[in-house]
Structure 1
Amino acid sequence: MASRSQGPRMHQTLFLLLVLVALYASSAFARLTSRTLLRAPSVPVQLLQHVQRAEQAQITTHQSPFIVSRDVAVRFAPRDKPEYQAYTFNQLVSHLDSVPAPVKGQTFKQRYWMNAKHYKRGGPVFLLDAGETNGEARFPFLRQGILEILSKAHNGIGIILEHRYYGESFPVKNLTTDSMRFLSTEQSLLDAKNFKLDVKLPGVAEFSNNLSPWIYYGGSYAGAKAAFARRKYPSTFWGGIVSSGVIQPIINFHEYYEPIRKSAPRKCMKLLITHTNLIDQLLDLNNYTVTSTLKGLFGLPNVSRSDDFVNTLALPLGSWQERNWDPAVGSKDFDIFCDAVTSSKHVPISPRQAAVLQPPIKKIKWASATELDDLAKYARFIRTQVASSCPYCTEYGFFITSSPNANRRLVSKRINLKYSSEICHLAFPPGKLVSVPKTPQIKRIERYGGLAMKGSRLAFVDGSEDPWLYATRHSSHAKKRPDTLSGPYKLIEGGVHHWDENGRPKGEPKIIREIHAEEIKFVGHWIDQWNARDPLRPFSPSRADLPSSPALIPYLPPHPQQGTPYHRYTLVLLEQKQALGLAPEAVERTDFSVREFMRQNDLTASGMSFFRQKWDEDVSTIYREILDRLTIDTYEIDTYVGRPAKYDRH
């Protein structure tokens, strides 16, 4: 879903295939594109990349100086060579044995780019997940966006990691339903973890992966991954910044349009709701003459299916998401659309069209005398502007549909779940090894916490007018959380989709300057926490100053070892100056404090280690009870203790 904005534009991406027949009726669309290739039953990756490079030559990757075209796609003057050198990392094709027909040990070249000009020894690494596009499209964030802002402020390194199956980071040679079995959120999260643990950054002196805190950043889908990575691998990623992260999978996502309805110009929305209901009622007549005349009015006479027709009418709403505080990045298309719909200028229609459409409109009780004239303005915009111009299927959903409430309906009721999800089975026919599920398996994603997600050093930054708001941590369905340095919770008033990700050295509006300053501040706090840690690993047997370390928690219960059928037990070695003679039953588990116990009995902490035993549900129950009493996040424990040294593993 490559676009000039990082967000998953499902309302356009999912719609485009279903209106393909109609669009190909227009000569302007009768050409080979990377989007059409991705829908073919089997596509050589080299052919796809060739077409993508040709498209990239027309709209070259985000390099300055820029030129904004009529359609507001950001175009930049070409360079003789890329702005940043591409490096590659040998990434596993599959990290999981549970995948059908796994390919153990096979690797592919995963691309990444970096900027280390601000780096000083021990400085942080800011890893930006490129999400669903060619990683080169993220260069602005490395040059003057969030990576540059945070790296400059904290003497860090900015890195863009290209997502598997995008750009040139393909783990397969042909794109088929079966070859897509290695594309999942879990696989891509393991890519990031593996990259962090094993990458050797070329040309960066005095750098060690384990001596610098790594902070994961992402916007939209990549933002959700930043949250998941921080939750799942807290000892790998010291922090996570989630910008407009769609952390809650939603199959029937009619609330996508709610922020638009609430925030867009009122007159425009009122007219659009009226037009939508009027069109639906005309189509409900099932009168061939009325239907064909209506389609002709909108310049779509060759669209045979009515659901494809109304879906095409919804496309202008997609431009709401493209709004941005920076005109070099954002789009004015939505303003153009609303201006056309609300224009006071008369738009003539043919006598034949008026003769066919006016009688049934007059029979609609709520229709006004000017209904057809108003509809003609909407129709002219569609005629002139629109008619000429995969993890979601398996895990997330986000099938954008019409509101169940007619008074809030910006798009036709025919854009329902059945219609919006149809693309998944058209684009991905059953393979020999795998098939697209009937409905997305959203529990795979919900297990990370969904709208209830929380955690230390996990920041949520959202926009109040983002159409994806209801899938983010700032959804009205989510419980609000306090905004702290350890757990930032930021809402950009009037902001849309990951507005903090791009930046400008001079001339940022006040709300963007403020959010960037706040991000610099809370990341600085996280780095202070990192620096306060002892450079020796908490679990090193040579550790002698455990009592003064923040690694200690009030109680160290046996806890589930994630992804295995075991519980992990933590052993703390407490050295006695003399035998205590203390009976085990004299020690209460409730409110037990390791530090207080050491102080009372004059003990010295000399080391830590682990052992594990097979899963016992009773142990898990005890663990949950303990955590419920503590004012500490469940995932905080793994965050504090870090990854044990190899000789401590069992």
Structure 2
Amino acid sequence: MVVLTLLASLVLLLSCVDAFPSRAKGPASILPRPSIPHFENPLEGLPVVSRNGTQLPDYTHVYYFNQLIDHNNPSLGTFKQRYYHTYEFYELGIGNLSDDGVRRILGGPIILSTPGEVDASGYTTYLTNATLNGRIAQTLNGSTVVLEHRFFGSSNPYGDLSVASFRVHTVQQAVADLVYFARNAQLPMPGGDALAPGKAPWILVGGSYAGALTSYTMASNPGVFTAGYASSAVVQAIVNFWGYFEPIRQNMPANCSADVEAVITHVDSVIASNDTTAISALKSTFGLPLGHNDDFAAALLQNLFPWQSLQPDSGPNQAFYQFCDALEVQNGVSAPASGWGLDYALQAWGTYWKSAFYYQICGDDDVETCLGTYDITNPFWTYTYTGNAARSWQWLICTQLGFQQDGAPTGQPSIASRMVTPEWGLRQCTYRFPGAFGSNAAIASPNSTGINAVYEGWNTTVENIVFASGTRDPWKESTVAADGCTNAGSDSQPHLLSDGFHCSDLLIREGAASASVKSVQDTAVEYMAEWISQWKQTA
């Protein structure tokens, strides 16, 4: 098998949200979110015992915080923001000398994180030492908190996800939520009403979009958090984000990359020819008779997105490698590094779609319902029920972040079709959020420039924050490890790089599968310990 020389361990999938879009719930062409890896939750009812022998509530026990609906207008009141918490590893200790010369009894740090653009109930493992959050807590005698992001899961300021409700769904409001929580939460633990910043050190941890929030929060609110850890942090908002596919192209099996690039070059050539007969025949090869050529080209991206779910301990049965094997293994023989060539790869890719892949992502839906994006009457676009995470994430994409995953510029090798442009995705924003961009707007115009200006993007000057990136992360080009980033970091802002994938360093078990991921984890804990040791009480 083509992948055996790369990954020989048994398969154990860590599925990022939307690595495969949900089946039969609208167009499967929704682009993947940069979520932190999902990790199996601790069993509900599992006893949690602190070091002093006290039995604590389950990790899955839900708490609620009265969060401001609008930080710019507190008179609007509050909503119930869900969070999870444990003080399993918390211990009191002797603090540094305060300004009045007294050494006070203090506890370890509070490690706050949000899983970002997902329902937080599936991420309570981030309270435990199976993740870096918990390892930091265990090392520094701290307490962990997972706070649900507004407009995801059950943390909704309003009863729907309408354009009117989304007025308070912004990056700025999410940043303010983290700060307001740290300053005002009364945590359900001994002394939990006296742990605000200044009285206790706080560490902010996040991965992916939540990693960007870590950087953004510390940049705009200095002094609240003593230290931060940002894994695969997508700090640079980019509208034309063709760089998403570059780490995939550069790190996938060479034969698979060569053949995918050859097929995509052929697809673009056929579509550009405007030969309707040839275009129809091409679509038939894949069993995808879509009415719009860009929808057809975008459908082929579905075979690349499972890369986002890979981790160092993933095995050869992961969906991305199943796809590559379908192209590169012929009669039990793997293709050379140059691949089999266009003729074989085109037919093999088409057969893979028709024999298995279409049903896997579309089920019994017809092709237009599953993969088409031009039917504005499809009620999918305007489902405003709470808990619709894809809609909440798309609002941030359409209004502020951009992140349209598309084909590379002409002259640059590309495994994604150039028929997929930012306009293809931004047009869909006007379907989802009618009227939000002007009554006659054909496409949305995300204010990525504004986000980068306010929070510094690649050029962040935040201190006491660790940025961790992976060379195989498809989101790498929006992190400080991007090829276009000139911010080299410093001892007060170390940039750590592993051979990991997306947020690999947040999962302790991935350190066991990769020495470079483990090195990042170990180094990060050392930085956290150093910075926390320098903290002094100010309140």
TM-score normalised by the shorter chain: which range applies?
Answer: 0.7 to 0.9
* Structure 1: 5+ residue stretches without partners: 17-28, 39-59, 67-80, 98-102, 347-367, 538-650
2:456 counterpart of 1:477: no
Residue type matched to 2:497 in 1? L
Q: 1:172 to 1:331 in 2, by over 3 A?
A: farther
Alpha-carbon contact 1:6-1:220 (below 8 Å) kept: no
Indicate the SS of the match to 1:387. helix
Question: Cα offset for 1:385?
Answer: 4.0
Deviation digits for residues 323-362 of structure 1, max 9, x if unmatched?
A: 112449x98211111111112249xxxxxxxxxxxxxxxx
**TM-score in terms of structure 1 length:** 0.64
Question: Cα offset for 1:5?
Answer: 5.2
Distance in 2, matches of 1:343 and 1:152, equals 46
Bigger CA drift: 311-320 or 81-90?
A: 81-90
Distance in 2, matches of 1:338 and 1:286, equals 29
Distance in 2, matches of 1:190 and 1:333, equals 38
Please name the residue that 1:137 is paired with: 122
User: Which of 503, 523, 531 matches 1:498?
Assistant: 503
Indicate the SS of the match to 1:160. strand
The within-5 A match list for 1:519-538 is 519-530=524-535, 533=536, 535-536=537-538
Deviation digits for residues 106-157 of structure 1, max 9, x if unmatched?
A: 2110000012011113210111122000112222222211121110000001
Q: Which has the higher relative contact order, 1 or 2, with Cα contacts under 8 A spaced 6 or more apart? A: 2
Indicate the SS of the match to 2:505. coil
Indicate the SS of the match to 2:280. helix
The within-5 A match list for 1:392-541 is 392-405=397-410, 408-430=413-435, 438-446=444-452, 447-484=454-491, 486-492=492-498, 494-504=499-509, 507-530=512-535, 533=536, 535-536=537-538
Alpha-carbon contact 1:322-1:331 (below 8 Å) kept: no
Distance in 1, matches of 2:341 and 2:512, equals 45
Deviation digits for residues 44-95 of structure 1, max 9, x if unmatched?
A: xxxxxxxxxxxxxxxx9833589xxxxxxxxxxxxxx974211000111111
Question: Cα offset for 1:513?
Answer: 2.5
Alpha-carbon contact 2:312-2:510 (below 8 Å) kept: no
Bigger CA drift: 442-451 or 226-235?
A: 442-451
Alpha-carbon contact 1:462-1:474 (below 8 Å) kept: yes
Distance in 2, matches of 1:435 and 1:178, equals 18
Alpha-carbon contact 1:178-1:432 (below 8 Å) kept: no
Alpha-carbon contact 2:243-2:477 (below 8 Å) kept: yes
Q: 1:369 to 1:120 in 2, by over 3 A?
A: closer
Question: Cα offset for 1:288?
Answer: 3.2
Alpha-carbon contact 1:429-1:435 (below 8 Å) kept: no
Question: Cα offset for 1:463?
Answer: 0.6
Please name the residue that 1:148 is paired with: 134
Question: Cα offset for 1:444?
Answer: 2.9
Number of equivalences: 449
Residue type matched to 2:309 in 1? E
* Structure 2: 5+ residue stretches without partners: 1-12, 31-37, 45-56, 93-106, 333-338, 362-394
The within-5 A match list for 1:286-297 is 286-297=274-285
Question: Cα offset for 1:429?
Answer: 0.8
2:40 counterpart of 1:62: yes
Question: Cα offset for 1:483?
Answer: 4.6
Residue type matched to 2:521 in 1? H
Question: Cα offset for 1:536?
Answer: 4.4
Please name the residue that 1:563 is paired with: none
Indicate the SS of the match to 2:239. strand
Question: Cα offset for 1:383?
Answer: 2.2
Alpha-carbon contact 1:128-1:218 (below 8 Å) kept: yes
The within-5 A match list for 1:23-34 is 29-30=23-24, 32=25
Residue type matched to 2:527 in 1? F
The within-5 A match list for 1:95-494 is 95-97=71-73, 104-121=75-92, 122-143=107-128, 144-205=130-191, 207-209=194-196, 210-301=198-289, 303-327=290-314, 332-345=318-331, 371-388=342-359, 389=361, 390-405=395-410, 408-430=413-435, 438-446=444-452, 447-484=454-491, 486-492=492-498, 494=499
**TM-score in terms of structure 2 length:** 0.77
Please name the residue that 2:367 is paired with: none
Deviation digits for residues 376-403 of structure 1, max 9, x if unmatched?
A: 1111222234322120111111111101
Distance in 1, matches of 2:70 and 2:487, equals 37
Q: 1:173 to 1:294 in 2, by over 3 A?
A: same
Q: 1:236 to 1:279 in 2, by over 3 A?
A: same
Distance in 1, matches of 2:287 and 2:118, equals 32
Distance in 1, matches of 2:213 and 2:538, equals 29
Distance in 2, matches of 1:185 and 1:177, equals 16
Bigger CA drift: 149-158 or 254-263?
A: 254-263
Distance in 2, matches of 1:168 and 1:108, equals 10
Distance in 2, matches of 1:502 and 1:434, equals 45
Distance in 2, matches of 1:65 and 1:331, equals 26
Distance in 2, matches of 1:450 and 1:416, equals 23
Alpha-carbon contact 1:325-1:499 (below 8 Å) kept: yes
Residue type matched to 2:358 in 1? A
Q: 1:249 to 1:135 in 2, by over 3 A?
A: same
Please name the residue that 1:622 is paired with: none
Question: Cα offset for 1:525?
Answer: 0.5
Deviation digits for residues 539-588 of structure 1, max 9, x if unmatched?
A: xxxxxxxxxxxxxxxxxxxxxxxxxxxxxxxxxxxxxxxxxxxxxxxxxx
Distance in 2, matches of 1:433 and 1:376, equals 44
Question: Cα offset for 1:213?
Answer: 0.8
Q: 1:189 to 1:344 in 2, by over 3 A?
A: same
